[in-house]
Structure 1
Amino acid sequence: MIEIRRSVPEDGSRVVEIWRRAVDATHDFLSAQDREAIDEMVCGFLPQVPLWLAVDEHDDPLAFMLIDNGHMQALFVDPARRGTGVGAALVRHGLALHPGMTTDVNEQNGQAVGFYERMGFRRTGRSPVDDQGRPYPLIHLVHSPASSSG
């Protein structure tokens, strides 16, 4: 059984572990230098920000989502739990709070693009670089309830 709850400071190390494992499994397009720089930035802020966590029956985090003003800034699932509905449960929770939620996804992460489209997101634009100006194009998405199948 998956439950959704807010993060607490004690979740910090597990959240960073989930982020690292998920990035290693899905972001093979990152250069080693960029991966290291992003890791340093993420470790500095991720444990401090309020997150939504999907947790198992033992209250162990399996995935997390960061939403800021209706924009999903991050969704990361432990690779051992991918395909089990954990990410979809978090997205549905986010959509219950923010029906017109937006997000950005790395264009090179085709599995994530497909996931969001299956969840009812539609493309609204594209940026040739990521938020830090690195050469990782982003696809901008908005949830469109009429097209949701998840």
Structure 2
Amino acid sequence: MNAILRPARSTDAGTTGAILHGFARENDWMPELHSEAETIAFCGRMIDLGWVTVAEVQGLVAGFLALDGEEVQSLYLTAPARGQGIGKQLLDLAKTQRPNLKLYAFQANHRACRFYERNGFVEVARSDGSENDENLPDIEYVWTRKEEVDG
């Protein structure tokens, strides 16, 4: 499925916040630390900072990626959008914008870990979760653009 990627607008905060909050609610291993209103406000701040790109399908936001420098802060999709290539589209766009990327994925999020590994990210560290708000063990991944060799 091909999505239209565009910079997020302030009016996307509600939808992106609902997507992010919905992820916490649908995964029993993920603690629900914030209300939906707090999550919407958080997404609004990321949008105001210019970090967020949304993916639209048939005029509706189906997912988003937040990129702060070289760090992918968030990559979330609605349940129907998963497995449709939209996450890859968002990630591929980020790869065109930076020569290196890094991100953290929760160890319990097996689907995300497989996705990042399939898309060229390499595990560089694991933690016990004491450094993240959720207190969940995570994995740090990095991606580096391969230099093309003339010849």
Same structural fold, with TM-score higher than 0.5 when normalized by the shorter chain: yes
Q: Point out 4+ residue stretches in structure 1 off by more than 6 angstroms.
A: none
- For 2:149, the equivalent position in structure 1 comes to none
- C-alpha distance in structure 2 between counterparts of 1:52 and 1:79, whole Å: 18
Q: Summarize the Cα distance change of 1:78–1:134 in structure 2 as closer, same or farther, 3 Å threshold.
A: closer
Structure 1: distance between partners of 2:93 and 2:35: 27
TM-score (norm 1): 0.84
Q: Which amino acid aligns with 2:82?
A: R
* Match of residue 65 from structure 1: 65
Task: Measure how far apart 1:14 and its partner are.
Answer: 0.9
Q: Unaligned 5+ residue runs, structure 2?
A: 147-151
Contact 1:104/1:141 (8 A) holds in 2: yes
Query: What is the deviation of 1:16?
Result: 1.2
Query: How far is 1:93 from its partner?
Result: 0.4
> 2:16–2:40: 8 Å Cα contact kept in structure 1?
no
Q: Structure 2 matches for 1:105-120, cutoff 5 A?
A: 105-120=105-120
Distance in 1 between residues matched to 2:131 and 2:5, nearest whole Å: 28
Deviation at 1:135, TM superposition (A): 2.9
| Corresponding residue number in structure 1 for 2:104 | 104
Q: How many residues align?
A: 141
> Alignment identity in percent?
21
Counterpart Cα distance in 2 of 1:9 and 1:61: 13
> CA separation of 1:117/1:38 partners in 2, compared to 1, >3 Å: closer, same or farther?
farther
- Corresponding residue for residue 10 of structure 1: 11
Q: TM-score by structure 2 length?
A: 0.83
Q: For the Cα contact (< 8 Å) 1:102–1:140, is it kept in 2?
A: yes
CA distance in 2, matches of 1:61, 1:104: 23
- Choose between structure 1 and 2: higher helix proportion: 1
Structure 1 unaligned residues grouped into runs of 5+: none
2:25 is matched with: 24
The 5-angstrom pairing of residues 1-150 of structure 1 reads 1-25=2-26, 27-31=27-31, 35-37=32-34, 41-50=38-47, 51-58=52-59, 60-129=60-129, 131-132=131-132, 134-145=134-145
